[in-house]
Structures are given as C-alpha cells and as structure tokens.
C-alpha cells in the first residue's frame, strides 16, 4: 500500500507548476470521438482518471497514444462500439461524458448506471431528460441506460440545476446533426467554456458556452484539431491553499485569473497577500473582457504570501462563479487553523464531508450540522494516520499534514492520483517534506 508521509511545519516557498485541467481534458477526449480524423491535445495531465478515459475510448474502438509527456493523440476512426465497459464506467463517473458524443456520432449509446460515489448521490436525470428533448428515446432500467436518436429535433432545454456534466453532454449531443438547441440555466464552469471553444475549432457552431444560455446548431461533420487544454484551476487553488496553510510564499501558475477569482477573494479576506506576476488578474482586467473573449484565455502566475493564522470566513460552495466545491476540503483544512469560527456550507454535492472526521483526528474542531460545517479554529494540528476517501478530501488532508506538527501519514492516495499529477513531487519542489512510501498492509486477523 502506498501512502504519503509528511513531516509538517515547513513553510512552502517557491514555484508550483499547474498542469492542464482534468475536468476539461476528460470532456475534450470524449468529444474527440465525434471528429472524422485524429485530435491532438496538449497539456493533458498524467493522472489515473485520464488513463481510465483512455481505456474507455480504446474499448470503443478509438486509438490513443501519448506523443510526448503531456501530448495525447486520439484517433476516432476505428470507433465501432457504443457501449463502454461496465467496469470502467463504475470506476470513473466521468465515463458518462461519452454519452453525448456517442449519441451524436453513432446514434446510439448504452452504459451501466454510474451510481453514487463517496461524495454523495450523483444522479444523471438531467442528462437523460435533455437527451429526450433532443429527440432520443431513452430507456433507463435494470441498472443500464440506453439512448437512441430516433427523431432529432430543435429544442429549448431548461436545466433544473446548472449541472456541469449534463450541459457538456447536451452540447456534444447537439453539435453533430441538423437540429438547433438552446440550453437555459446551463453550467458556467470554465471547463464548459473550454469544451465550446474546442468544438468550435473542430467546426461546430456553439455560442455562449460558459454562460447561462448556450446555443448549438448542429453541423454535418467535425474535424480533428490540435488544442492546448486550459490550466487546472482546482490544482492551482490547492497549491495556493498549501502556501497559505503553511504561512509561506508561493508562486502558482499558469492560471487564468478569472478562473480563480472566488478563491483569491476568500484568501484576501482571510489575510493573505496576493499579487499577479504579469500584472493581470482581477484588479487589472477592467475594460479588457471583450479582448479576453477574442484572445481566449490569457494566463498569469499568482503570488501568495501568508504570515499569520487566517481570519475566519463564511463560505458556501456554489456553481461557478461561486466558490468551487472541488476546493471545499482544502479550504476547510486551512480554516481549521483560523483565529475564530468559520462556517462552510456545501450546496453542490450531498455528502462531501469525508475529510471532517480525519481533520478532527488531527486536532481540528469541526461539527457538521446538515450541509454546514462549523469550524472552530485551533492554533495547531497534530500529525497522525488519516484516510483519504476521495480525491479532494485527500488533497485537504495533505494540506493539513503540511501544517501539522509531527508526522502525518495519508492513506488512500490512489484517490489523490486520480486528479493530481505527482502531488508529492510538486510540493517537494516548494520545500515540503512529503514522500510516497510503500507500507506493507497489516494482515486482517482470522476469525474476527
Ligand atoms: C463535475 O461533476 C466535476 N467532475 C466535479 O469534480 C465537480 O465537483 C462538479 O462538476 C461540480 O463542479 C468532472 O467534471 C469530471 P454536476 P458533475 O453534474 O458534472 C446534481 C472533482 O473532484 N445532479 O454539476 O458530475 C449532482 O448530484 C470532481 O474533480 C443531478 O441531480 O457535476 C450534484 O449534486 C468531483 N442530476 C450536482 O447536481 C443530474 O443529472 C452537481 O453535479 C446531474 C447532476
């Protein structure tokens, strides 16, 4: 069993480089299935969720090759199946993102129900309702979902909730074909905007991706392209919080300033000093929004300095541009050391508090009441052995370990590897004492 062993209490100081966004790369890979030729994606992170998506695409008949370290080629010309294997769909929920592309390209898709996961129930009803509105016949029974495009039609779809995955699946499903579709109350996450940009480069007609209303006019064919994925805003946020929790000074990038505004505002409110190396960033952007839209996503590096315990905060996770749920556990680790009582309310996922009991074992004082965690800041945390049960909970525990006194052992790091490329190595470059070590699993006593 691999674990992270962390000697806490060292200030992080240095540069932390961010890879391409996991949650954009996965969707672009799925969308590449719709092209008539190969697509090359640059800046794809080397993480296990990407390996799982590669397996999904290969199982469907596409070919995938790493051309170099972070450059992935996807050739969909061998695509000949519309049913991703059950074991892969169960391993990674993002496998459902092949639904829209397969329906558009093959007219048909069948997959096992992805089910719940350790951050709460995650139904796909909004995906399915949307596909029905586009003219698909959808059968949802016996743990499987099957959709066939019977009568493609123009549609106006109002999402009950701005689901990221449903918005992305519907954009893809509508991108190829003759229909014209408006999606209202669409998710506005930067990864949705990135998918729209990517599809348009392939020849699609998508307007407004990344805004509340998205319009898609189907086209007859899409071509393969070469495309560099946007930086991972959640990875960037994790590194900024690592700098903050260790009261260090870090420079994190590349990052698109607009993608991290919600976190930057909270870090400033907590007492950190932030600056932008290239002079870009929230304060300097006035008047240049149109230019950004034309140019795409200018990037910068953000410099953070933290000197004392954070001031307490009240934070609610929300769909973008609200505070991202994918940084909630990391923020909670940070606020467990605040000089006062913080409130963190999780509104996006139903059960994303896996990290709380483990933080409490390290000396944090946190009580969960419904969807809100009440965090009474303590002056220090103490290292112990903790278990990561999901990706971002794991990142939060690593951050807590960096700040804790003594040794922290984080188990369950396979969850962390799903979304962070060599997290330990990256943190070491900024001075953290963290290493991955192999432990022998303790035998379970017989008869107990
Ligand atoms: C994406 O998941 C991300 N995953 C998640 O990141 C992220 O937490 C989430 O968006 C919210 O930002 C990927 O992009 C691969 P949703 P997704 O559909 O698309 C409910 C990480 O750590 N809902 O916006 O699955 C759902 O149950 C991961 O990197 C329905 O009720 O998120 C949830 O409570 C974890 N019915 C809420 O909406 C539906 O049909 C948000 O889900 C769809 C969603």
Q: Which atom of ligand 1 is nearest to the CA of 392?
A: 22
- pLDDT of 280 reads 59
80 Cα: distance to centroid of ligand 1 (angstroms): 28
Among 23, 50, 318, 419, say which to mutate for ligand 1: greatest number of ligand atoms within 8 Å of CB.
23
Q: Does 440 score more than 90 pLDDT?
A: no
Residues 268-289 have a mean pLDDT of 70
172 is catalytic: no
Q: What are the structural domain ranges in the chain?
A: 2-19+231-438, 22-228
**What does the pLDDT look like over 321-377, one tens digit per residue?**
999 999 999 999 999 999 999 999 999 998 899 899 999 999 999 999 999 999 999
Establish whether residue 125 lines the binding site of ligand 1, counting it when its CB lies within 6 angstroms of any ligand atom. Answer: yes
Give the class (CATH, top level) of 22-228.
alpha beta
Apex 354 CA angle, 250 and 429, nearest 5 = 20
Q: Does 290 score more than 60 pLDDT?
A: no
The pTM score is 0.95
Q: Does 127 score more than 50 pLDDT?
A: yes
Establish whether residue 196 lines the binding site of ligand 1, counting it when its CB lies within 6 angstroms of any ligand atom. Answer: no
- pLDDT of 281 reads 52
Establish whether residue 349 lines the binding site of ligand 1, counting it when its CB lies within 6 angstroms of any ligand atom. Answer: yes
- Would the CATH topology of 2-19+231-438 be identical to that of 22-228? yes
- pLDDT of 443 reads 58
Least confident of 73-82, 239-248, 432-441: 432-441
- pLDDT of 288 reads 33
Establish whether residue 262 lines the binding site of ligand 1, counting it when its CB lies within 6 angstroms of any ligand atom. Answer: no
CATH code reported for the domain at 2-19+231-438: 3.65.10.10
């Amino acid at each position: 069993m691999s674990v992270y062993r962390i000697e806490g209490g060292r200030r992080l100081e240095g540069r932390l480089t961010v890879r391409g966004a996991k949650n954009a790369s996965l969707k672009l890979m799925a969308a590449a299935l719709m092209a008539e030729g190969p697509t090359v994606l640059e800046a794809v992170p080397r993480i296990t969720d990407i390996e799982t998506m590669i397996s999904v695409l290969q199982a469907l008949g596409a070919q995938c090759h790493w051309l170099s370290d972070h450059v992935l080629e996807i050739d969909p010309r061998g695509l000949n199946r519309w049913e991703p294997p059950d074991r892969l769909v169960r391993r990674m929920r993002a496998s459902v993102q092949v639904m829209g592309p397969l329906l558009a390209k093959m007219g048909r898709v069948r997959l096992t129900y992805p089910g719940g996961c350790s951050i709460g129930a995650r139904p796909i009803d909004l995906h399915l309702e949307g596909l029905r509105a586009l003219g698909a016949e959808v059968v949802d029974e016996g743990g499987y979902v099957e959709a066939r495009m019977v009568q493609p039609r123009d549609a106006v779809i109002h999402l009950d909730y701005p689901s990221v995955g449903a918005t992305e699946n519907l954009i893809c499903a509508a991108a190829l074909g003759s229909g014209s579709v408006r999606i209202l109350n669409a998710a506005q996450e930067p990864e949705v905007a990135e998918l729209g940009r990517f599809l348009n480069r392939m020849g699609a007609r998508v307007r407004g991706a990344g805004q509340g209303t998205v319009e898609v006019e189907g086209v007859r064919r899409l071509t393969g392209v070469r495309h560099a994925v946007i930086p991972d805003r959640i990875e960037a946020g994790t590194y900024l919080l690592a700098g903050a929790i260790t009261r260090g000074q870090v420079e994190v990038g590349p990052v698109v300033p607009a993608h991290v505004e919600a976190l930057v505002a909270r870090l400033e409110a907590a007492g950190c000093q932030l600056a932008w190396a290239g002079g870009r960033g929230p304060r300097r952007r006035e008047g240049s929004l149109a230019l950004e839209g034309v140019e795409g996503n200018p990037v910068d590096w953000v410099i953070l300095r933290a000197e004392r315990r954070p001031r307490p905060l009240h934070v609610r996770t929300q769909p973008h541009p609200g505070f991202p749920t994918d940084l909630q556990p990391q923020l909670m680790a940070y606020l467990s050391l605040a000089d006062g009582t913080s409130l963190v309310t999780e509104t996006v996922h139903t059960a994303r508090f896996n990290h709380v009991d483990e933080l409490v074992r390290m000396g944090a004082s946190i009580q969960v009441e419904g969807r809100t965690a009440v965090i009474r800041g303590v002056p220090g945390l103490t290292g112990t052995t903790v278990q990561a049960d999901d990706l971002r909970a794991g990142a939060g525990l690593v951050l807590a370990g960096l700040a804790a006194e003594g040794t922290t052992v984080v188990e369950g790091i396979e969850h962390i590897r799903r979304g962070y490329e060599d997290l330990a190595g990256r943190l070491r470059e900024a001075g953290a004492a963290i290493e991955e070590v192999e432990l022998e699993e303790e035998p379970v006593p017989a008869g107990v």
